[in-house]
Structure 1
Amino acid sequence: MNLEAQIQLLIDNAPHDGITRQLVAAIAPALGAIARKLRYSQYYILQSLQQDWVLTTLSNRANPQLEKRVIYAFPTLQDVSLNSSAGLDPQLIATVVPVVNILFQLVALEPVDSIVFFETPGTTTNAIEVPRSDLQNLIQKQLQQNRFQKEIPPDIA
């Protein structure tokens, strides 16, 4: 599914509560701008059987007290098993998720610092990290341009 169709589906599936659809439509250009920088229109996300996305905590080598929590997005199903212990844990499954939905969910994923999109099948050396704070700032600017409220509702996604 192309990015425009993903964005339209996201808008169409937003609650009909008088504001959420307008908010989703207003932030759609920000989601699209980031999605266009990525190579694939969908990625595989590792999740639990309860459909919670699997978080990986990374520590800074020079300063182990500095940590960040990331979600990995893989370009192919084979990459999930090559780059994680997913195949060894029957409680984890890989699910394909449209890139626009991944970015939209990132807005509301409080414990997540970034999503790391692996861009080349078979390797983890070519990745694009999308920090949640950068996405939120971009969305905030988009909302201000559209004269929406200054704060993103915490339950938008």
Structure 2
Amino acid sequence: MAEDRSTAFLIVLAVAVLGIIAGVLALVRRAASPAVPARPVLTEEGKAYFPEIVVSDARMSAAQNFLGGTVTYLNAKVTNKGTKTVRRLDLQLEFVDTLNQVVLRETAHAITLRAPPLKPGETRAFRVSFDHMPADWNQAAPTITVKYLGF
């Protein structure tokens, strides 16, 4: 009778341990591959609207983080000069060296679905941070072009 109880206890314990391991693996798998919403296809209407988006006042700055490393920032403003509300805006940033060769290309998400849309005539500041910049970067603000926008 005591042997049956200890066997049943071991079976219940093994099932509980396996359940915990399966739960931890499921959480790790979900955290390792976050669901990134796919960007919709850029429409001809969106492409035609690119000239209505103006980026201005691009300035670079740097600051020390709490670990002693340097974080580089791009601060700029984006203006919607058109007549449509922009709900999503991605900008391509190209940093160059002293020979004007691209040494870093990044995408900045200036307007996201989590932020309020950019209304016609509105100007909004945005900031992009960089933990590491190439050593041969010329220290100037990047060339900024519209890569994607959605209405």
Name the structure where strand makes up a greater proportion of residues.
Answer: 2
Shared fold by TM > 0.5? no
Please, what TM-score do these two structures have when normalized by structure 1? 0.23
Please, what TM-score do these two structures have when normalized by structure 2? 0.24
